[in-house]
Structure 1
Amino acid sequence: MRAYGFKSNGGPEVLEEVQVPTPAPGPGQVLIEVAYAGVNFAEVQHRRGEFGEPDGPGGYDVPGLEVSGTVAALGSAVHGPAVGEQVAAYLPGFGGYAEFVVVDADFVRPVGGLPLAHAAGVPCVYPTAYGVLADAGRLGDGESVLIHAAAGGVGSAAARIARGLGAARVFGTVGSTEKTQLAAALGYDALFVREDFEDAVREVTEGRGVDLVLDPVGGPVRQASLQVLAPFGRVVAYGDLGRHADWRADVFDLWKNSRTVAGYNIGDVARRSPATIGEHLSRALSALASGALPYAPPTVLPWADVAEVHRLFEAGGTHGKTVLAVAEQGAG
């Protein structure tokens, strides 16, 4: 089958079209014929070597954490979904930039009428958004939220989900002034340029601060986020987009100022509580299909443009969700 992968770590140019064996589903697994593959920053990290050197079939690793498509075959002991059903899936071991993928049934859910192009952008970012808000962030009714990298896939999903979980006010930070104009479209009360967010948050909250900060950036942004917390506020770390050196919180500072730092990693949750990912995925697909959760259509680009898409991600040149059209099956 065709796939896009890399045989050595490096820049976007290492991605190339390759032929790799079509996988077969084992016990508890589902084989999916891929229609669309979502793109996430973790796939950029995978390509750059932050998760190790490539060691897949033929020496190639195939990125891709989420797909939509049609069930092609089932392994033993799988009771659903049915062959021929349209589904979305989270792929904890990557592999989504391919014509077929195999994945444990725990991470596969029917799209429920959601168009496949839309569904491809759900399995990674929406369970992450639910996880950082509800599981790690313990968001309560009437609380306020600040979301860093607010125009990205997880950020824009979290902004909408936060409303449904009871948030009263939702703010975000972005990397450029131009992106602040996207606030209303992305569901925010206001967006701030990340370099100057501390004063802006204090002003808009009249000095109280926010109850919850979601931070995939790290470094100075994470440290500064502690300074804009309301009493009993939480910072949830779930990434390191800025590629900063490890940062350690001062426990004395945390308890003296009634602050909390929490963490969320979807890969860890997938290993230790796969049902949690499946539950959040099912919840998101149902809410999106019914219209209960607003959803902006993704940017759909040709599969062959994958290297250019990775360049845009590294340059911060995207907003919302981007998916690759692997095949046009079942779209609409």
Structure 2
Amino acid sequence: MKAVVLDADDQFRLADLEAPTPGAGEVAIGVQYAGIQWGDVLVRDGHFPTPRPFVPGFEAAGRVVAVGEGVDESRIGRQVIALTGAGAYAEVVTAPAALTFDTDGVDPRLAAGFGWVTPTAYDLVNTVTRVRPGESVLIHAAAGGVGSLAVQFARAAGAGRIAGVVGDADQADYAAKFGYDLLVSRAEFPDALAAESFDVILDPIGGPTRLASLQRVAPHGRLAIYGNIATFEPVELNANDLLMSGISVLTYNSNLLSQTHPDRLADSARQALRMMASGQVAPDITAEYEMADLGKAIDRLANGGTHGKSIVRIS
């Protein structure tokens, strides 16, 4: 099979490999499209040490071609999306059956945009911060894959005012179509918000942005942390100050959740998939790449040159 391999020199190369076979509790998927996500950047840059060479890729859309021990054979032939531990940038990938979801009736290309971003956005709004009707929400990386979905889930949850923070004016123009009430650039944050505070803030940025965000959380509000795009340097928070204002700081790690409580992640994914199928929310696919161009695609993502969701056409 054709696959993209990440070598020890951090370069992505096309290779011919033997197709994997599913183990117990797994399915094998003939991949049509694979989703690109921030985890690809982290793996390439060594933040998740992985023996090289290996086939990266964490999101696959295609058809089940084989099942492992303990998996219902009726799943063979089903159109699915899968959240994988690796290997999606290949013509065949194996994935946990528990994190593989039927998408009959959904275009495979659109299904590829679902990936990890959709259940992540769903969980941030509905199970982590539990946005209530009328509450105000601030979303960092508002033009990104998670951000462009989080605003849709927040609106569906009944949120009132929703503001977003973006990298530049081009990203602001893009994010505006998702229904933000206000968009400001990262350079303008937080001054452009005057004295405004928010019941919920979603922060994948880290560093000084995290500290500035904390100052904009309303009493009894929630700051949700789910990444460190800007820096991995730790941020110190004073628990006594949080207590006096009733503010909660929450974290979300979908990769860890897939290992410790896959049933919870699967439930959120199914809820999000139902909302996508009904048209309440939709990932926005803005770029499609060939397998040979994966390195360029991940460079663009790492350098802030993308918005919405990018995918790779496999077959």
TM-score by structure 1 length? 0.90
Q: Flag the 1:158–1:310 CA change in 2: closer, same or farther, 3 A.
A: same
Read off the aligned partner of 2:154 and give its amino acid letter: A
**Residue in 1 aligned with 2:3?**
3
Q: Map of 1:46-195 to 2, 5 A cutoff? A: 46-52=43-49, 54-55=50-51, 59-79=52-72, 82-91=75-84, 93-195=85-187
- Could you tell me which runs of 5 or more consecutive residues in structure 2 were left unpaired when the two chains were aligned: none
Read off the aligned partner of 1:237 and give its amino acid letter: I
In structure 2, C-alpha distance between the alignment counterparts of 1:273 and 1:165, rounded to whole Å:
24
**Residue in 1 aligned with 2:263?**
275
Q: Flag the 1:9–1:166 CA change in 2: closer, same or farther, 3 A.
A: farther
Q: Does the CA contact (< 8 Å) of 2:35 and 2:112 recur in 1?
A: yes
Structure 2 counterpart SS, 1:151 = coil
CA deviation after TM superposition for structure 1 residue 26, in Å = 1.4
Query: What is the count of residue pairs matched by the alignment?
Result: 315
Q: Give 1:40's match in structure 2, choosing from 37, 41, 62.
A: 37
Structure 2 counterpart SS, 1:246 = coil
Q: Flag the 1:298–1:113 CA change in 2: closer, same or farther, 3 A.
A: farther
Q: Report the more deviating stretch, 188-197 or 24-33.
A: 188-197
In structure 1, C-alpha distance between the alignment counterparts of 2:255 and 2:147, rounded to whole Å:
18
- Could you tell me which runs of 5 or more consecutive residues in structure 1 were left unpaired when the two chains were aligned: 328-332
Task: Verify: 1:262 aligned to 2:250, yes or no.
Answer: yes
Structure 2 counterpart SS, 1:17 = strand
Q: Map of 1:286-301 to 2, 5 A cutoff? A: 286-301=274-289
Read off the aligned partner of 1:6 and give its amino acid letter: L
Q: Give 1:304's match in structure 2, choosing from 292, 296, 314.
A: 292
**Residue in 2 aligned with 1:24?**
21
Read off the aligned partner of 2:189 and give its amino acid letter: F
Q: Report the more deviating stretch, 33-42 or 161-170.
A: 161-170
User: Moved runs in structure 1, 4+ residues, more than 4 A?
Assistant: none
Q: Report the more deviating stretch, 73-82 or 234-243.
A: 73-82
Q: Does the CA contact (< 8 Å) of 2:283 and 2:308 recur in 1?
A: no
CA deviation after TM superposition for structure 1 residue 9, in Å = 5.2
Q: Does the CA contact (< 8 Å) of 2:5 and 2:56 recur in 1?
A: yes
Q: Does the CA contact (< 8 Å) of 1:4 and 1:62 recur in 2?
A: yes
In structure 2, C-alpha distance between the alignment counterparts of 1:7 and 1:179, rounded to whole Å:
32
CA deviation after TM superposition for structure 1 residue 178, in Å = 2.4
Read off the aligned partner of 2:64 and give its amino acid letter: V
Structure 1 counterpart SS, 2:70 = coil
Q: Flag the 1:246–1:323 CA change in 2: closer, same or farther, 3 A.
A: same
In structure 2, C-alpha distance between the alignment counterparts of 1:169 and 1:294, rounded to whole Å:
20
Read off the aligned partner of 1:8 and give its amino acid letter: A
Q: Report the more deviating stretch, 165-174 or 146-155.
A: 165-174
CA deviation after TM superposition for structure 1 residue 294, in Å = 4.1
Q: What is the aligned-residue identity percentage? A: 37
CA deviation after TM superposition for structure 1 residue 19, in Å = 2.6
Give the CA RMSD over aligned residues: 1.6
Read off the aligned partner of 1:49 and give its amino acid letter: G
Read off the aligned partner of 2:304 and give its amino acid letter: G
